[in-house]
Amino acid sequence: MVVARSPKAPRWPADMPDATAVAASYEHCRKIARAAARNFYYGFMLLPAAKRDALCALYAFMRGVDDISDEPGAVEDKTRRLNERRAEMDRVLAGDDIAGPVWPAFGHTVTTYGIPPRYLHDLISGAEMDLTVASYETFDELRVYCYRVAGTVGLCCLHAFGFSEPRAPELAEKLGIAFQLTNILRDIARDFAMGRVYLPNQDFRQFHCDSSELAQGKTSPEITSLMRFEAERAWQFYREGWQLLDLVSEDSRAALWAMARIYSGILEKIDARSFAAKPGRPARLSTGEKLWILARARMGWLGETDALRNRDRDWRRTGGPVGGHSTR
């Protein structure tokens, strides 16, 4: 079945009773995205105004969910707050007026772009996993988590971008997972300090190394092999998800390219560090590097990313994944 292309978000008539509240809510969400979406917002800037507002509203909602699971506090209290957030979301999507600066824009965005509520429920379920799951035995288990906290983000954004090809959602999910695997590799030390180890236990055993050594930034042939293996898995998701670029609406392609280029650039930085997890110094792109990506996107230089091209070149030199291990 071919999925209908999402329409442009309409501007509500000024005389509608809640038009002012919706406009104020979008402005609030823009402020949150500008302040907190250090990587995504560069892509948001390349979208038409209505789509940019939609992604800001989605980001503000998702950031709020993520903050509940990450901030200090008792698990019981955070679980209660996530349950409350889920119930409030259901009421908003049912058409109820709920107090809160994000809800009017969020409800308007989800309704306008036909975003399936199950993606949003799955996102909250992913935040709940962070409260109860400290480690993952296999990649299959980790992939469920990555889908919930990031694949769902890609799927929500896809509806705002607009698409018509039925295979686009699968690719959007894969690109979201690629972003999350990049986050995991970037934030190993920070997550370990919070009691979370995302890399699968099976992989630690396979490469004969320990999560505590990795979090402390120690290096060894075993750790290097593990990290190379994990990075190659992420690169594979980028390769597959990159096909989405040609399947979203033309006015959204530059934004998607910029976001994918920035995130793949972070993974490239991790590669350049020889996979060492530096405590307190997570890999990132400088503001200048992000602005250069933004400029390239504005000028329409939307070919295959440099990071993917360079990685494929290096991958071919070594004959494929390290040690011949499959990354999937």
Q: What's CA 79's distance to the chain center, in Å?
A: 22
Mean pLDDT of the chain: 86
**Stronger pLDDT, 267 or 2, i.e. the higher one:** 267
- How far CA 247 is from CA of 238, 257, 261, 324, in Å, comes to 15, 12, 17, 33
Q: Are 196 and 228 in contact (CB under 8 A)?
A: no
pLDDT band at 242 (very low <50, low <70, confident <90, very high): very high
Q: Which CATH number fits domain 133-324: 3.20.20.10, 3.40.50.300, 1.10.600.10, 2.30.30.30?
A: 1.10.600.10
**How do residues 290-318 score in pLDDT, each as one tens digit?**
999 989 988 876 665 555 655 555 544 44
Dump pLDDT digits (tens) for 20-68: 899 999 999 999 999 998 888 889 999 999 999 999 999 999 999 999 9
More confident residue, 218 or 256: 256
Q: What digits encode the pLDDT tens for the residues 157-193? A: 999 999 999 999 999 999 999 999 999 999 988 898 8
Rounded Cα distance, 193 and 68, in Å: 17
Instruction: Spell out the alpha helix ranges (H) of 39-198.
Output: 40-44, 49-70, 75-93, 103-113, 117-132, 139-146, 152-161, 168-186, 188-193
pLDDT at 114 over 80: yes
Residue 328 has pLDDT above 90, yes or no: no
Q: How far apart are CA 54 and CA 31, in angstroms?
A: 13
- The amino acid that residue 266 corresponds to is I
Query: What is the pLDDT, as a whole number, of residue 315?
Result: 46
- How many Cβ atoms from other residues are within 10 Å of residue 81's Cβ? 18
Phi, psi of 234 (to 5 degrees): -65, -45
Structure tokens at 29: 């969400």
pLDDT tens per residue across span 94-109: 999 899 999 999 999 9
- Contact between 173 and 155 under an 8 Å Cβ cutoff? The reply is yes
pLDDT per position as a tens digit, 253-294: 999 999 999 999 999 998 877 655 555 577 889 989 999 998
* Mean pLDDT of the 190-198 span: 89
pLDDT of amino acid 213: 81
Mean pLDDT of the 6-32 span: 71
Quick: pLDDT tens for 75-95.
Answer: 999 999 999 999 999 999 999
According to the model, what pLDDT value does residue 246 have? 94
pLDDT higher than 60, residue 195: yes
Q: What is the mean pLDDT of residues 239-257?
A: 96
Give the pLDDT score at 275.
55
% of the chain at pLDDT higher than 90:
67
